Amino acid sequence: EVELVESGGGLVQPGGSLRLSCAASGFTLSSYWMYWVRQAPGKGLEWVSTISSGGTTLCAASVRDRFTISRDNAKNTVYLQMNSLKPEDTAVYYCVRSPDPYAGSWLPAPMTKDFGYWGQGTQVTVSS
């Protein structure tokens, strides 16, 4: 059974850093495109970053040069390293898997929870 479990969220001051983890089970992580998606309070889902099955990465302009997506295939885990955090980064962060192996898209489409598989999310709060 496919399962994605996010962890690593918490309260951090502006300018601080957090590292989110997504532990995957029920499938081979390296065969799929993986995504981080976030939802700020009162707002819709926002794509954050992608790592392809081949290991190529892409981030949204709002987090580029601050966030880095990566994976450890041996641990079947995806990470999101978040640096220079801003209050507007406050959101629930979700780990998402593409619906099918190898064939993926750089942005989840549609941008809803009908796309692929989703974890339960982890809360990130950036505040003084």
How does pLDDT run along the chain (128 residues), one tens digit per residue? 999 999 999 999 999 999 999 999 999 999 999 999 999 999 999 999 999 999 999 999 999 999 999 999 999 999 999 999 999 999 999 999 999 999 889 999 899 999 999 999 999 999 99
- Reduced DSSP (H G I as helix, E B as strand, rest coil) percent helix, strand, coil of the chain, to 5: 5, 45, 50
Is the separation of the CB atoms in 101 and 53 below 8 Å? yes
Segments in 11-125 forming alpha helices (H): none
- Return the number of other C-beta atoms located less than 10 Å from residue 86's C-beta: 13
- The CA-based diameter of the chain, rounded to the nearest angstrom, is 42
Q: Is the dihedral of CA 96, 109, 58, 11 positive or negative?
A: negative
Is the separation of the CB atoms in 51 and 120 below 8 Å? no
Phi and psi at 88, nearest 5°, equal -70, -5
